[in-house]
Every structure is written in C-alpha cells, then in structure tokens.
Chain A
Amino acid sequence: MGPGALFIAVFLACAVEAVEATTIVLAAGTAREWRSALIGLGGGLIVLAIVVAVLGPAVSAIPLGALRLVVGGLLLAFGIQWLKKAILRAGGRKALRDETAAFAKEVAAARDATGQRRGFVSDWYAFTLSFKGVVLEGFEVVFIALTFGSNQHNIGLAAIAAVAAVLVIAAVGIAVRAPLSRVPENSLKFVVGIMLTSFGTFWGAEGAGASWPGNDSSLPALIAAVLVASVLLVMWLRRTATTGAGRSGRTVGTAEVAS
C-alpha cells in the first residue's frame, strides 16, 4: 500500500465522519447559539487531540505482529458492521443517510430543548450537542487514522489525511451554512465499508501468522473480491425486497434518517 493509497483511504473514511459531525454542529449553531456550538466544537477537538497524543505513541510502541492482529481484528469487526449497513442501504432495507433530514431532526430537537447558562458557556445544550457530536464522530476518525497509519508505519501521513478531510468538510460546511446533502455520503460509506473490511482482513490475517501470496500485491484482489461479494449481496437484497415487499413491508424509503 503506497502513501497515495493510504492518504486516499484515510481521507475518504474521515470525510464521511466529518460530514455527520458538521451536520450536528451546524444544527446546534443554527437552532441555538453559534458561540456555544463553536466552544463545543473546540472542546471536542481538544479531547480528540489528547486521545491522539496519548494513543499515538502507545500504538507505535506495540510490536507490528501484535498490532496487526489486534488492529486487524478490530478493523474487521468494525468494517463488517459498516459494510453490512451500507449493503442494507443499497439493497433498500435500511433508510439512506439523508443529511437534510438529519439536520432538520437535530434542529427540531434543539429548538424544543430548554437553554441553561453554565460558566462561560451561555447555552449548555448547544455546547453539549456540538461537543458530543464532534467527540463521537471524531473517535471514528482517530481510530481509522491510527489503525491505518500504524499498520503502514506512517501515522503522520494518516493524520494529515484525517485533518485534511475534517478541514475540507468543515470549510464547506461553514461556507454553505447548510447540511452537506450533496456529498454522495451513502456511496462513500459503501466504498469505505469495503476498504475497512478488506484492510481488516489483510492485516488481521498477517497478524495471525498468515502470509499473503504476493504480499501487498494481493490487497487489490482482496478489495475486488469484497466489492464483488458486496454488489452480489445488494442484488440479492433488492431481489428479495421486491419479491417480499408486499408480505413483510421491510423496504424503506429514502426520506428517513439513518445513522
């Protein structure tokens, strides 16, 4: 895996998470108060920076074999869950993620909540909404950047890719002051799910003592195999959704909000 591939993989995965965090911060700022929402954003970023500062050197100190076993296993479990949701969305069995609907839902909840001043934060609800959104989505960004970076001995480049993704998405969000509904988020999630599962499989197997035929050159074949399997599973879900929709009513529309 070259530096370019590492950068693209981390950038795409982190961009998806950044879109969701941006929607939450925008909702907190628009419906409540921008100052408190931005303090929440800053506080969340400080927490994430501390996590990276603590975990980064600790992860780098772990021997590569053990690191790949643990990180590969975590990435594989995480990736399969992610890919499962992406396949369910593409197969019409789970509502597509709709940033406009997510934004409207957050704004409605924020407008109904009562405000409260605490210390220098004038609107505690806006602060906590923004803070929690940034920390929860940010943990996934940190996890992806650390796992990919440590496995490739290039945490610096992975961190640059993650920060670049967050900055690009945040800049667009601030510029448009609206949910980033034009980002093809569901397609990105499908691609990222395939990448997480493929890399998790590759590193997990190496960590458990297996040797891949052709070493790193088998990774593109693995990605292609996961892609083909995923597309086939989407086709299977769509076919069963069509034949079973009248009976079970399990198909969903796109206007709902999905996580």
Chain B
Amino acid sequence: MSVLRGIKGVFAFLYDFIVGDDWLVAVAVIIALAITYAVSQTSVSAWWVLPVAVLLILPIALKRATRPH
C-alpha cells in the first residue's frame, strides 16, 4: 500500500515538475514540436516554428493565469 502511495507520489511530483499548473503549455509544446518535425520533412525551413509557438503560448498562458476565477 505504501509502495503504491510512493509510486503515485513520484508520478504526482513528475507531473507537477514538467506540466506544472497549466497542462495546456505542455500540450502546446508537444504540438509545436510535431509541427516542427513535419515542416522539417519538407523543403521549407522549420526553425521558426518553435519561436513563434513560444510567442503565442506565453501570452495565452499569462491570460489564463490572470483571468478571474
């Protein structure tokens, strides 16, 4: 029982460590990386995808954090 609680605790820690209080950021980063990979497989440069994603994700995350509950 205590082992199970320990494992759950580790996963909860990892989730909080990587995902934090806004899961949308983690999902958006994964999608942006996937788009980068898809664009890199074409003849178009793909380096700009992640910087643009950051410029979009940050204001949205801030807006979500400051909106009245």
Contact = CB atoms under 8 A, between A and B. Distances in A.
Contact of B33 (A88, A197, A208, A211): A208
Given A78-B18, A209-B36, A237 B62 contact: yes
* Chain B, interface residues (CB within 8 Å), range: 20 to 34
B40 A209 contact: yes
Contact of A139 (B17, B34, B57): B17
B59 interface: yes
Given A80-B54, A81-B22, A93-B66, A205 B47 contact: yes
Interface string A36-58: 00000000000000000000000
B51 interface: yes
A225 B47 CA distance: 14
Contact of B19 (A77, A209, A210, A213): A77
Contact of A204 (B20, B36, B57, B68): B36
Nearest to A213: B47
A111 interface: no
Interface in B9-63: 13, 17-22, 25-26, 29-30, 33-34, 36-37, 39-41, 45-47, 49-51, 54-55, 57-59, 61-62
A210 B51 CA distance: 12
Interface residues of A, number: 43
B65 interface: yes
Nearest to B37: A208
- Name the 4 nearest CB pairs between A and B, nearest first: A209-B40, A210-B46, A208-B36, A81-B20
Interface of B: 13, 17-22, 25-26, 29-30, 33-34, 36-37, 39-41, 45-47, 49-51, 54-55, 57-59, 61-62, 65-66, 68
10 contacts: A74-B18, A76-B50, A77-B25, A80-B58, A84-B65, A87-B62, A94-B65, A205-B49, A209-B41, A236-B59
Interface of A: 69, 72-74, 76-78, 80-81, 83-84, 87-88, 91, 93-94, 136, 139-140, 143, 197, 201, 204-205, 207-213, 218, 222, 225-226, 229-230, 233, 236-237, 240, 248, 250
